[in-house]
Structure 1
């Protein structure tokens, strides 16, 4: 695998989209193109990742909600075998292949910074801060693909309220685990580790933002950010920090990981905005993972379709400048 300097690494160059197209052509040449077309993206060589990979333990108690009930879910297999999680590798298949060594229990999250009640929470304590809910959210990746995922988690606002931010707290950082012993990607200078993402405080308090601990009613798989990850459905997927070990309340806007790596391409807000292209490709439409080869790309919606709920957070802002 070719590894570049952090300034050289951008998502579109690492994603295997071109590789997938090449695979299709090779299979088509071998006379299997029709079979793949019928099977869709789910058929693109996931047998190796699924070998020996069982389902996760069920979450015993959570409440179904109305969020996303009208959506067609992406399959469990696609959700758990097509991932961006660079700590475990830069291709979409590598997280499922490499994350099996991640030990998620015991797990402690440090809540710190500009708050009145700093604390350390075990994952079991975190799950008891509020009743667990299933929320079906559309998720959009900056690279042009999307999924519909039935997350299980708690409102992020609940944790924020319990921490009691001071008047100085304006932003919240989410810092991921960076363990060279079990994360092969951390051993290479792909990004500036540990992975850091952040939200404005009012964004974090919005009802749509959650800390996810599961999907499809099961404990979160390691490759999807176990044991706890951030989910902010109106933003591009890279905002959702995975395997979080620290949550820190700060006064100044943080320089998040992708802002440091490629500031011209990745801004702080990362709101899904089809009218603002990535510097090297359009963001106007997307490919829903699981669709077959003949399915047309679908238009990308402002704020990923959650504009009615979140547009007021950015009233008066220039969304081309604050991208």
Structure 2
């Protein structure tokens, strides 16, 4: 029997489970504010301050109202802890974030295994307010804390053979109860072209809302690429590898016809089974009944990143 489900079995599960979770909340008479579940409240109570200076990177400080912190920390995609949106906040307390290292290797002149404390001190922390758009149709606005991934990249000096960057996340069945499930091939792997990785908006994030990342949001260090769908931003990173060929990423391996390597937010390219033309902001007051908004090209960052894809067929290279 195959380890992986048919592609048609993958996303519908998270969609119907997401709807089921909303209906549970509705039945309890707590839709919207109920996102501040016991798990989220517990996680917030354990938060540690991680302030950052306001970023001067063009496009980094979105002026939209941020999503309430309780919503952003309790409605998550992190399949290592379950496929329900509420599962990560409920289950991620088992993740151990100390000690933690990130190995940087491959086509670089200065490969290195970075301790978390080294990474935290590598560059001054900034606050950046980015829009997060999920392929299922929901969106958030989150104040992240971190610094440009380019700061790390320049330290390791990629060689001329480095064309892509592969990101490998933790896959520990002892602390991540859903690692080993048939939804994906573990560990979770993502990738960017090198020019995407060094773009100033590509963020290595250690915190959100002025505090260290909650486990369910990708602690202790994650990627945030704001112009791409959220699954491109790998959580709980343990390895960054510079390679000469396009990496085989987790969702491309699972369902290449549905989740392309680039995964730029493009309202003109529908998912095979639903439209991407609109989105529903989480924490916008109406819950599942919140008014949908038009999806913006490149998630609203076209002015900053559109030139990276000049001349490309963005329907073919989705």
User: What range is the shorter-chain TM-score in?
Assistant: over 0.9
**Residues 1:149 and 2:142 are matched in the alignment:** yes
Asked if the contact 1:83/1:93 (under 8 Å) is kept, the reply is: yes
By how many angstroms is 1:51 displaced? 5.5
Structure 1 gaps of 5+ residues are: none
5 Å matches for 1:187-202?
187-202=180-195
Q: Which residue of 2 aligns with 1:320?
A: 315
Decide which of 54, 71, 74 is 1:64's aligned counterpart.
Answer: 54
- Choose from 300, 307, 313 the match for 1:305: 300
Q: TM-score, normalised by structure 2?
A: 0.92
CA distance in 2, matches of 1:58, 1:9: 40
Distance 1:186 1:253 in 2: 24
Label 1:4 to 1:22 Cα distance change in 2 as closer, same or farther (>3 A). Answer: farther
For 1:70 and 1:51, the matched residues in 2 are separated by: 26
- The runs of at least 4 aligned residues of structure 1 exceeding 3 Å deviation read 6-9, 20-27, 50-53
Give a deviation string over 1:38-86, Cα, whole Å, max 9, x none.
xx53335x43424643141112x52122633521011111111000000
Query: What is the match of residue 284 of structure 1?
Result: 277
Counterpart CA distance in 2 for 1:6 and 1:222 is 30
Which one of the candidate residues 208, 213, 220 is aligned to 2:206?
213
1:181 corresponds to 2:171: no
Q: Secondary structure in 1 aligned to 2:140?
A: strand
* Aligned pairs (5 A) from 1:77-96: 77-96=70-89
TM-score (ref. length: structure 1)? 0.91
**For 1:233-271, what per-residue CA distance to the aligned partner results, in whole angstroms no more than 9, with x for missing partners?**
000000000000000000000110000001110000000
Partner of residue 238, structure 2: 245
The Cα offsets for residues 135-173 of structure 1, whole Å up to 9 and x where unpaired, read as 000010000000000000010011111111111100000
SS in 2 for 1:185: coil
* Higher deviation after alignment, 187-196 or 227-236: 187-196
3-state DSSP of counterpart to 1:245? strand
Q: Distance in 1 between matches of 2:22 and 2:238?
A: 37
